[in-house]
Structure 1
Amino acid sequence: MSAPLAPFDRHRGLLFSVAYQLLGSVADAEDVVQDTWLRWSAADRGEVADARAYLVRIATHLALDRLGSARARRESYVGPWLPEPLLTGDRVAAAPAPADPTEAAELGEQVSLALLVVLESLSPAERAVFVLREVFGLPVAEVAAVLGRTEAAVRQTAHRAREHVESRRPRFETDRRAQQEVTERFLAAAGGDVDTLLAALAPDVVLTSDGGGKAKAALRPVVGADKVARFLLGIAAQGWALSGLRIETTEVNGEAGIAAWVDGEPLLAMSLVTVDGVITQVLVVRNPDKLAGLRTH
């Protein structure tokens, strides 16, 4: 029988997930985990009654400290800002793998890129409460302890955040097989089959692309099936001709998506929101600074 894991290692995946869903950045979440370890290594362990709660509290506060400066940087960002994609399919995942089966249950439901975009519109306090309470299911008392608030304040904030998110949360296809079928049809059509591509897109589909000024992307959302199709076919016309291109369907933040590499270097990650068999939202991340997770592929 293997030796029991040390508390920090046992909860590393949970800490990454909390930080990532608060910040929308894999790199920043990894930094938060590292800083949490430094705090943990310097702590008097004898005074820590609940290691999990203690570590989550540290990671949450470190993430919230970063959130303010991150939002300030985004004000000067070139074009739309999208969260950093996290590949969650079988072949790659940027997050540390759960150390054991019990930890897997702590990781919370996967938060799609589309939902992370909605979370950006919450205040830091609302986002923290929503992530800890709604995503990870922490009890109100534990959330209150983590954030240093009263239970009544947490309930009020949770209610406000939940209403805000539900009013903006995109509808999505819950059938994974249907998601995959639409994604495969979309990918095949993007090579130049205009009619099939249009059939895969909802009339009011919205495409948002994030190049960060470092890769070609639209500077504002593209709206409507015809315009989105033309934009995608333009990308395909350039990309399909690249030597060493590899493109495949995968899972991005728990939803069907697409990733591409050129000679092993990441080119893009794409998340698709599908409803009733058609794509209603396309999120394309091309900023190379946000594609580091794909390099482990």
Structure 2
Amino acid sequence: MDAATVERFEANRRRLASLAYRLLGSAADAEDAVQDTYLRWHAAERQHIEVPEAWLTRVLTNVSLDRLRSAQLRRERAAGDWLPEPLLDGDPMLGPADTVEQRESVTMAVLTLMERLQPVERAVYVLREAFAYSHAEIAAMLDITESASQQHAHRSRRRVAAARVVTGLDDAAAGRVVEAFLAAAASGRVDRLVALLTEDATAISDGAGPVRRWARLSKPERIAAALRAALRPTAAIQRLVGGSPQLRAALVNGGPALVAVLGDRVVGVVVMEPRDGRIAVLRGISDPQRLGRLSRQWQRRHRTGDEAARPG
């Protein structure tokens, strides 16, 4: 390809990556989908492509849908330990954040809930709500009718509306949530942790690292006891992660999060979903393969002094 053709693709790369991340819930899968799209762009008869941006969006969307439909991915996600890959706020892959819909579409709550949607419903929701494509444009991308696009949008909005989502938290607000949590955990009193949780609180983990024992818990007392055990710097946990991590407050996918850092490497993240001043959902991710991008972003900010967190 000539330089101008490469530049045309590169001008769309960030937008394509943020679209793929919303569709797949995985930064690694999103990067692969963008690369597949680039290869198809390279092989295409570009003189027949009238609107390159629309063509790239269509190809990227369908590449992502193929991944969502794959038998291997279905088996992995049916195992019950799949959680979205967490991203540090400010990561360009989170994409546009000008509207409430755009911000909500990358929260852990909505990304998790979208796993219950059919792939086409998920694509319609993301294209419509996060990227403001018309139903005519979506229909052309997905080879469906405008009426079908409207129906998918209605169903997906109704289901996503059931997610309890908090948006618009700034660093200070997120920090206060996490600092209260850390203070309660450090006190050694389970009752202080219980007081921070809603009566119907839920804790979910990816089954890796120190949080592997609480794959899914639903009672505040059990959650608090499990969290206290996971956050206690025991010899077993230190052996598991290779040392004694520092705990920091951060914004991850728009929500307050507890980040465990060993040296300059992130070894665990607990993303919190507040409701009415207390914590309703905790999602713990410790799988190193799902923390790679967040860890690299953390390292870049730490080196430049633009840290996204402060000591807990």
TM-score by length of 2: 0.82
Tell me, in whole angstroms, the C-alpha distance in 2 between the residues paired with 1:136 and 1:218. Answer: 38
Match of 2:295 in 1: 295
Tell me, in whole angstroms, the C-alpha distance in 2 between the residues paired with 1:11 and 1:22. Answer: 17
Pairs within 5 Å for 1:24-103: 24-69=25-70, 70-75=73-78, 77=79, 80-89=81-90, 93=91, 95=92
Large movers: runs of 4+ above 3 Å: 95-98, 103-108, 173-180, 238-244
Match of 1:115 in 2: 110
Secondary structure at the counterpart of residue 266 of structure 2: strand
Give the fraction of aligned pairs with identical amino acids, expressed as a percent: 37
Deviations 1:202-258, CA, capped at 9 Å, x for gaps: 12211001125x665136411122111111100011369744523211111121212
Counting matched residue pairs gives: 283
Match of 1:205 in 2: 201
Higher relative contact order (CA 8 A, sep 6+): 1
Tell me, in whole angstroms, the C-alpha distance in 1 between the residues paired with 2:265 and 2:278. Answer: 30
Structure 2: 5+ residue stretches without partners: 300-312
Pairs within 5 Å for 1:93-242: 93=91, 95=92, 108-109=102-103, 110-166=105-161, 168-172=162-166, 174-176=168-170, 177-194=172-189, 195-211=191-207, 216-218=211-213, 220-238=215-233, 242=238
User: Residues 206 and 215 of structure 2 are in contact (CA less than 8 Å); yes or no, is this contact kept in structure 1?
Assistant: no
User: Residues 13 and 97 of structure 1 are in contact (CA less than 8 Å); yes or no, is this contact kept in structure 2?
Assistant: no
Shift of 1:158: 0.8
The structure in which a higher percent of residues are helix is 2
Secondary structure at the counterpart of residue 186 of structure 2: coil
Shift of 1:71: 1.7
Matched, 1:278 2:273: no
Shift of 1:294: 2.8
User: Residues 107 and 165 of structure 2 are in contact (CA less than 8 Å); yes or no, is this contact kept in structure 1?
Assistant: no
Tell me, in whole angstroms, the C-alpha distance in 1 between the residues paired with 2:47 and 2:129. Answer: 31
Tell me, in whole angstroms, the C-alpha distance in 1 between the residues paired with 2:187 and 2:83. Answer: 27
Letter in 1 for 2:23: L
- Greater CA drift, 182-191 or 138-147: 182-191
Match of 2:310 in 1: none
Against the structure 1 CA distance between its residues 127 and 256, is the aligned structure 2 distance closer, same or farther, given a 3 Å change threshold? same
Deviations 1:168-199, CA, capped at 9 Å, x for gaps: 31143655454432222112322234243222
Tell me, in whole angstroms, the C-alpha distance in 1 between the residues paired with 2:98 and 2:273. Answer: 25
Shift of 1:22: 1.0
Structure 1: 5+ residue stretches without partners: none
User: Residues 267 and 286 of structure 2 are in contact (CA less than 8 Å); yes or no, is this contact kept in structure 1?
Assistant: yes
Against the structure 1 CA distance between its residues 8 and 259, is the aligned structure 2 distance closer, same or farther, given a 3 Å change threshold? same
Shift of 1:5: 8.9
Tell me, in whole angstroms, the C-alpha distance in 1 between the residues paired with 2:164 and 2:18. Answer: 21
Shift of 1:159: 0.8
Against the structure 1 CA distance between its residues 200 and 247, is the aligned structure 2 distance closer, same or farther, given a 3 Å change threshold? same
